[in-house]
Amino acid sequence: MKNLFNIGFVVLILVVLGCNCQKFKDLADEAKNSPSPTPYVSNTSSSPTSSSSPPSSPSSSSGLTMAKYDQIKDGMSYKEVTDIIGKEGTEQSSSKVGSTTIKTMKWQGVDYEFIFVNFTNDKVTFKSQANLK
Instruction: Show pLDDT as tens, one digit a residue, over the chain (133 residues).
Output: 667 767 777 776 766 666 555 655 666 666 666 554 444 333 333 333 434 333 444 434 678 999 999 999 999 999 999 999 999 999 999 999 999 999 999 999 998 999 999 999 999 999 999 999 9
Sign of CA dihedral 41, 42, 47, 48: positive
For residue 58, the model assigns a pLDDT of: 40
What is the rounded distance in angstroms from the CA atom of residue 40 to the CA atom of residue 1?
A: 61
Of 110, 104, 103, give the one whose Cα is nearest residue 130.
110
Count CA atoms within 13 Å of residue 107 on its CB side: 27
For residue 55, the model assigns a pLDDT of: 41
Backbone angles phi, psi at 95, to 5 degrees: -145, 155
For residue 39, the model assigns a pLDDT of: 41
In the three-class reduction of DSSP (H, G, I as helix; E, B as strand; rest coil), residue 13 is classed as helix
Of 81, 120, 80, give the one whose Cα is nearest residue 104.
120
